[in-house]
Structures are given as C-alpha cells and as structure tokens.
Amino acid sequence: MQNTSWIPLFPEQASTFAWQVDALYFYLIFVSVAFSIPIIAAIFFFSMKYRAKEKYATPDEIHGSMVLETVWSIIPFVISMTIFLGGAIIYFQQYTPPDDAMEIYVVGKQWMWKVQHETGQREINELHVPVGRKIKLTMTTEDVLHDFSIPAFRTKADVVPGRYTYMWFEATKPGKYHLYCAEYCGLNHSGMGGWVYVMEQRDFDNWLSGNVSGQTPVEAGKDLFQNKLGCASCHAGGAGQRGAKLEGIFNTDVKLVGGQTVKADDQYLRNSILNPASQVVEGYQPIMPTFKGQVTEEQLNSLVAYIKSLSPGAAAPAAGAPTTAPAMSANTNSAAANKTAPTKPAANSNK
C-alpha cells in the first residue's frame, strides 16, 4: 500500500508491534533533542557570560556540590532505565512467539524467499497472511545468512544456515507491504525481496483454496519418512524397532547417553536428523546414519513437521484455528473441486 503521510519518513504501521517500536523511537529522539538543545544553549550562554574580560585572571575555585552531583546522576539513570525497559519489553514480546500462532515455513536462498504454508501452498517472494491472526515464521536458509525483514510490521530476524530462527507478528491492516532481505548476501541481494499480502480472513481462505499445490509439510514429511528416506525401517513401531520412539516426544525432555537431558524442540529434531551421533538417546545404539547433505531444508522442515504431528498435544496449535483450509487440502488431487467449493472472492479483495 502506498505511504500516504506527507513526508514518507516512516513505513506504514501495519502490525501490533509497529506503534510500540515507533513510540520507543520517538521517545529516543525526544530525549536526544531535550538534552541537545539545553546543552547547545548553555555552551553559547556560558561562552558569552564567562568570556575572558581580562587576561590572566584567576577564576574562583569550585569545591563541588553534593546536590548537583546527585541530581545529574539520578536523572540520567532513570532516563536510561526507561529506555532499557522499553527496549527489553518490546524485544521479549517480539522474540517470544505465542503458542496459538499459525505456522509458516520460510527458507531463504540466494536470492529468493521460499514460503510454505501448513496447508501445503507454496509461494516465492510472496507471503499471504490473514489480518488479525498471530503468524509464526519458522525460518532457515539453504546457503548463506539472510535476514527476513518487513518494515511495515517493524520486525526482522536473521535467517541462519544450519538452524531455525523464528519471527512472529500480527498484521493489523489489509494491504500489500514490502518484504526485504536485510543482510548483504551476495550479488543479487538487493533483488531478494517481495511482498507481504495481508488479507481479510475470507479473502485469505479464498486465496488458499485457489492455490492448492500438493502435499502439506506433514504429508510430505510422512512420505519422506515412510517411503523415500527409509526412516520407518528403524522407527516404525513393533518388535523389530531399532530406532528411538518418536511418538509424543515433541516438547518433552529426552534423556541422552551421558546423563544429559534436552528438550525435544524443532532444533533438537533437526539436529537428530543431521547429526544423530551428537545427541544419542539413552538406551539406544548410535546406529542412525546421518542425513546431512541428503535432504534439502524444505524436506527437513517437512520431516520436523511430521515428527511434531506425532505429538498431537504439544504441537500443531493451528488445528483449532478458524480456517477452512485444512478441510480443503484434503482433496488436493482434485483441483477442480477446490475451485468451485468456496464462495466468490469478495469485492474488496486486497490483492
């Protein structure tokens, strides 16, 4: 959406974070100005008042003032603490994704953003989200460091090779907002951007239904797990099971050989697939082969999503979310059926 302010110094405010970040920023500007102006005025005033009237005059000595020292220590202390608190509160909010967020996977790659929705839709350099819903992005990259940045939402986060980083936001206004890579990542870094489309829930549902594109991450993960990568040959239940139990482990504590305990979060699952020998589960032999180099980041996301789906209580908070999409993705192999299912796109479509 176009910036309509008369001096376009700031991007639009389009998320719940935006006013907070701006308020903090204006407060910093206010504090800087409120100190700079009196200091500059005092420099001029004193240079006039105390200018040398006679050469080699001996000025009066000053022996210090307890009151003055105390005042000019305490006031700046209080001010800097307000700045610290403001920053800390916003930081913790932004970097603590809520549990009930809708999850979307993002993979950075020189020089594009690949996005996958839980319902299977994929997009490149575009991100469609519904307005007024909490959205959590789980992000990683196939090559170098990138940084996912949406100025209108006042949020950005590094996207780091070999691990997951997270970002969350809640868009407040339908519209089209710039999306950037904010970390220099090579020749076409400046072209690594796109658009975030914030839509009314109804329009978003229509968009989802018009874009059914194959497997959901969980389905893709299941396929990899059972057929393509042969994980099931060790991990399927039954008498011959050689691999650790995966059902219900997400977000629980796992005991490792050596007595250590780790939490089975996304990072741990990811690492268990890439470097199984580095964290061996207690009671098992380190026989699991590494899958490093054999799976792409997107496949890894799918495997992790699938393993998470084996722990229904702990994962998949989006299941209860108000969207018709999961029902529609059930008949993915019938695109025609999907086209006719939903009502006509709303007149105020924001695309």
CB of 314 to ligand HEC, least distance (A): 13
Residues 146-175 that bind Cu ion (CB under 5 A): 146
Nearer to ligand HEC, 36 or 233 (CB): 233
Of the residues 127, 139, 185, 249, which one makes contact with Cu ion according to CB under 5 A: 185
Question: Which of the listed partners (Cu ion, ligand HEC, none) does 233 bind, with a CB threshold of 5 to 8 Å by partner kind?
Answer: ligand HEC
Task: With beta carbons less than 8 A apart as the criterion, state whether 242 and 234 touch.
Answer: yes
Nearer to Cu ion, 117 or 146 (CB): 146
Of the residues 104, 192, 269, 288, which one makes contact with Cu ion according to CB under 5 A: 192
Report the C-alpha gap between 326 and 119 in whole angstroms: 6
In the shown chain, the binding pattern of residues 215 to 254 toward ligand HEC, with x for contact by CB under 6 A and - for none, equals: ----------x---xxx-xxx------xxx-x--x----x
In the shown chain, the binding pattern of residues 270 to 299 toward ligand HEC, with x for contact by CB under 6 A and - for none, equals: --xx--x---xx--xxxxxx-x--------
CB of 179 to Cu ion, least distance (A): 11
Report the C-alpha gap between 50 and 47 in whole angstroms: 6
Task: With beta carbons less than 8 A apart as the criterion, state whether 110 and 185 touch.
Answer: yes
Question: Which of the listed partners (Cu ion, ligand HEC, none) does 254 bind, with a CB threshold of 5 to 8 Å by partner kind?
Answer: ligand HEC
Non-local (6+) Cβ contacts of 57 within 8 A are: none
Residues 319-338 that bind ligand HEC (CB under 6 A): none
Question: Which of the listed partners (Cu ion, ligand HEC, none) does 146 bind, with a CB threshold of 5 to 8 Å by partner kind?
Answer: Cu ion
Report the C-alpha gap between 146 and 188 in whole angstroms: 12
Strand blocks (E) in the chain:
102-109, 112-117, 122-124, 126-130, 134-141, 146-150, 155-159, 165-170, 175-181, 193-199, 253-255, 261-263
Please state at what angle helix 66-94 crosses helix 18-49, rounded to 10 degrees: 160
Question: Which of the listed partners (ligand HEC, Cu ion, none) does 321 bind, with a CB threshold of 5 to 8 Å by partner kind?
Answer: none
Sheet-wide strand order for 102-109: 122-124, 112-117, 102-109, 134-141, 165-170
Task: With beta carbons less than 8 A apart as the criterion, state whether 301 and 270 touch.
Answer: no
Q: What is the DSSP letter of 278?
A: G
Residues 178-217 that bind ligand HEC (CB under 6 A): none
Give, in order, the Cα–Cα distances in Å from 274 to each of 70, 140, 235, 268, 302. Answer: 58, 14, 16, 10, 14
Nearer to ligand HEC, 220 or 281 (CB): 281
Non-local (6+) Cβ contacts of 100 within 8 A are: 134, 317, 321
Question: Which of the listed partners (Cu ion, ligand HEC, none) does 303 bind, with a CB threshold of 5 to 8 Å by partner kind?
Answer: ligand HEC
Nearer to Cu ion, 115 or 131 (CB): 115
Question: Which of the listed partners (Cu ion, ligand HEC, none) does 192 bind, with a CB threshold of 5 to 8 Å by partner kind?
Answer: Cu ion
Q: How many residues bind Cu ion, per CB under 5 A?
A: 4
Nearer to ligand HEC, 148 or 291 (CB): 291
Nearer to ligand HEC, 112 or 254 (CB): 254
Report the C-alpha gap between 287 and 304 in whole angstroms: 20
Give, in order, the Cα–Cα distances in Å from 179 to each of 93, 128, 194, 215, 317. Answer: 21, 12, 5, 26, 26
- Interaction site with ligand HEC (CB under 6 A): 225, 229-231, 233-235, 242-244, 246, 249, 254, 264, 269, 272-273, 276, 280-281, 284-289, 291, 303, 307
- Interaction site with Cu ion (CB under 5 A): 146, 181, 185, 192
